[in-house]
Amino acid sequence: MSDFYQNGIISTLHNLRTRSLSDLETDLKRFSKTRPMTLVLPSLFSELEKPALQLIVDELKKVNYLDSIVIGLDQATKEQYQYALQFFNQLPQKHFVLWNDGPRLLDIDQKLKKFDLSPKELGKGRNVWFCFGFVLADGTAKSVALHDCDIVTYNRELLARLIYPVANPNFNYQFCKGYYSRVTHEKINGRVCRLLVTPLIRSLKRIFNDNDYLNYLDSFRYALAGEFSMRTDVLSDIRIPSDWGLEIGVLSEVNRNYSNNHLCQVDIADHYDHKHQDLSLNDKEKGLSKMSIDICKSIFRKLATNGLVFNTETFRSIKATYFRIALDFIETYNNDAAMNGLKLDIHSEERAVEMFAQNILDAGNSYLDNPMETPFIPSWTRVNSAIPDLQEDFLVAVNEDMNEFSKK
């Protein structure tokens, strides 16, 4: 049955299987004449050595409506950056490769540090923030989409559906979040969203009763999706989290800056799979363990800014309530899996819930110990106010890198 049901407070745009990809792309090509579109791809160099990114590039070769593609390259030596330039030269679109570890962009980072504006942590958040800064400095794009570089089930319809809501000039959306089914290889994936985020939100709603922010988060079908799009105006004022709270943090920022009728979510894929993180039961600084702590802190901080008061007893109640609700969800997922001929390892699911429950408490204690922690990278509006000529320097640095190393 085609799903056209609307729930929550965010508009949901479905894939009713009534329109072809070619029709969508025809529209997007028309929109591109007045609303240039850019795709941002944050990537580690290691992704270039895996088949997923080559699949993505092969699909992007067929896209005719993008004005440009901005690739943020992390953890690359000079030789690897040169290889990356050759690799992405397959793309027919105008494209820019940001060598984040190169001397020119490190000089840009030093200028930011003088004003205490530099991202504090390395990682995806920092990479995305620099890519957004470059898009703003270039000044061409009117709509921007972002997705990861490790999607092993990628096809170009994902991009078309993701960017369509913010590219269509007749739509009023400023921000769009992608969602998709996390069922592949006879398994139900998406552990952090299924076993942490959803039951945690339901637990917080039970404890704090009706709360606009929690109702907002609960409206998203896949809050941790790394795929989203926005109109370029949004980029200037959002503060990007530098840790694993990136996806929740971006949702919090657009919630702060825009009314709900300017936000939507869209079905972008029937099946989706990517590189999986280890659970990391014994190391809270790695894998899904660190991710879960960062996500919890991001939610707690946002709720605190909305006036909710936390203490040690509050977090103990949250942990206990979460644990019971999460175990009930496992039973539901197991029934769903059985009815659909899928596998669900109840033992590993409950081990994950036990870890997440402890990490909720650890995240709460961390928040209480350091309530003034500011993991957000400053907005580009603030950066441009402090260093007016930085954007021009940024453009020059990226172009000089590409010109110098493309010739060798």
pLDDT in tens, 344-361: 999 999 999 999 999 999
pLDDT of residue 408: 55
Contact between 273 and 150 under an 8 Å Cβ cutoff? The reply is: no
Mean pLDDT across the chain, nearest whole number?
A: 93
Torsion on CA atoms 200, 201, 204, 205, rounded to nearest 10? -140
Over 80: is that where the pLDDT of 57 sits? yes
pLDDT of residue 1: 44
Percent of the chain with pLDDT over 90: 83
Among 91-95, 184-188, 286-290, 342-346, the range of highest mean pLDDT: 91-95
Residue identified by tokens 């206990």 is 320
Residues 14, 15, 19, 24: is their CA dihedral positive or negative?
positive
User: Residue 219 carries which side chain, given as an amino acid letter?
Assistant: S
Distance from C-alpha of 235 to C-alpha of 245, rounded to nearest angstrom: 17
pTM: 0.95
Over 60: is that where the pLDDT of 2 sits? no
Q: How confident is the model at residue 248 (pLDDT cuts 50, 70, 90)?
A: very high
Q: Tens of pLDDT along 218-234? A: 999 999 999 999 999 99
Of residues 136 and 17, more confidence is placed in: 136
Q: Tens of pLDDT along 270-325? A: 888 877 777 777 777 778 899 999 999 999 999 998 899 999 999 999 999 999 99
* Cα→Cα distances 220→179, 322, 340, Å: 8, 19, 23
Give per-residue burial for 169-208: e unless 16+ CB within 10 Å, then b.
eebebbbbbbbbebbeeeebbbbbbbbbbbbbbbbbbebe
Max Cα distance, the chain (Å)? 62
